[in-house]
Structure 1
Amino acid sequence: MGRGDLTNAEWVRLEPHLPALGRRGGRWSDHHRVINGILFRVRTGIPWRDLPERFGSWKTVYERHRRWSADGTWDRILRAVRRRRPRRADRLEHGQCRLDVLPGPSARGRGPQEEATRPEKRTTPRHHRPDEGLGRSRGSLTCKIHLAGEGGCRPMAFLITPGQWGDAPQMIEVLERSRVPRPQGGHPRTRPDRVGGDKTYSSRRNRRYLRRRQIKHTIPKQKDQRANRKRRSSKGGRPTGFDSEIYKRRNEVERTINRLKNSRAIATRYDKRAYVFHGTLTVAAIHLRLRP
């Protein structure tokens, strides 16, 4: 077993959720070796053609990853391993929501310096496709990863958008994707007991959504919003509650982001299509969830 490969305990948890090896017209290669190859590429960020021979044919590893990214297999596996276990049932009560940016150079291989020196004649270049999830931000083509995580540095849901998109409008979409299956079956849990975020997400739309769903939240208000409320006197309403001790738990989701960025293929985006990059991010999240 190489460094970064699945351990025996992780493989036991993952194997029941993988597709069957037999299929019409042929037989897949061993899932264990192929997934180790995918994890090796996600961790190191090397080109697919440079995968070591111990993982088999590089094209088999790449096609397995691309196909499972396209048909939603990786997302289904993440939902399965995200199933709540009794000893971790209390973690969901302090679910943190944090939407952060993981910038990287363009998927076409141009570095940030080359992008910064190009004249910005248009917001979106002619060769840019909508399915790439790229946008011009701070002088280069980048994308954003909006992340929601729970306690214990465990990612729950994420969303990939172009680099110029705002953070606050994506909060509701990320929360809608946070679905935790129940061990006894039935409808998955979609409403956390508490959501935390920084000032970026202090918008009227987000707070109205949280109140409507009866979700407690710890989100500080921005300075101009507090000043506007005071200027309106009694019409401004009461100040929102804020618990500084609960707010300190946001460091857990910050550490989750740092753990994801330990994978070089996530800290720097190498995948051209957004759905393939989404699959790469899902693989890293699955590996984090499998760890004890």
Structure 2
Amino acid sequence: MGLGPLLGLRHVAQPSLSYSYAPKIDQGRYHVFGSIGQMGEQRHLGVSLGNTFQAKYRKGKGTAKVDLLSVSSSAGYNYLAAEKRWSGIGTSAAVLPGNPLFDLRLSNYYDVYRKRSEYTNLDAGLRLSGAFGRPQPKTAPGKAEADTALPGQASDSTAGILIGETADASAADGDSTGTPADSARPETSGSLQGPGGLPWSAWLGLSQGWRAGQGAVQSMVRGSAEASITKNWKVSYGQYYDVRQRQMVSQEYSVYRDLHCWEARFSSTKSGIYWFYEIRINLKSIPELKLQLPKSGRASY
């Protein structure tokens, strides 16, 4: 089949069957430690089915394949159970699994005896990344084609979202945020600086949970952001918010400084009435060689 760039669809099924057996261990025959009880006979059968739905499409002069949806279900059978030998059916599904920007997952547990879903969880996430930097000056007419590939200029393989048309990789050197004098400095290897400038990333996630007879029991929003404000300075922030309770569960942030062979970090976390912060300086090659000053406590209100 073919529909525009779409060349075809494919369904891949992966059934699986497993059997496990463990004999009864006689406590009188073998020495058993006091904290470990006697082990009885076990016989178990496991059944699972994985499904992957894929699409094949045109990409440039060639073709590419993408996973659209994956669904897997599993159940177990206990031969020695007095009753209710079948376990519930656990199912998980993911939309566009492996996508670096988007994440959507659904999980469910179905009780075959009560004939109802005991719980359902939904997790969604969005990831963004890019680089801050000053756009490259446009090449004057008549310049050789080789001159258009300026040092640090972003290529087609640069991942994430790039701020501006192109970014100067040497726009920030050391603690500079990118002055004209800095742009002439060569980029050093092993720095926090990405191919298009100073990298940044952000993530936002939602977790929703439902339980049988209770409805929605959980609604959480999580988020984090990280950015290199210069080549040697990096800041990050994360939060965990309870939508149902309308309160912040926890927050954390950190400030990182590259000290060539050493590195320093200040981090702070607050969860409810409890807080914690830490100052740490360590050798990059030997992280165990460090100076660490932790402090914790609780709010006095």
* TM-score normalised per structure 1: 0.26
Task: Point out the structure with the larger helix share.
Answer: 1
Structure number with larger C-alpha Rg:
2
Relative contact order higher in (CA < 8 Å, ≥ 6 apart): 1
Task: Point out the structure with the larger strand share.
Answer: 2
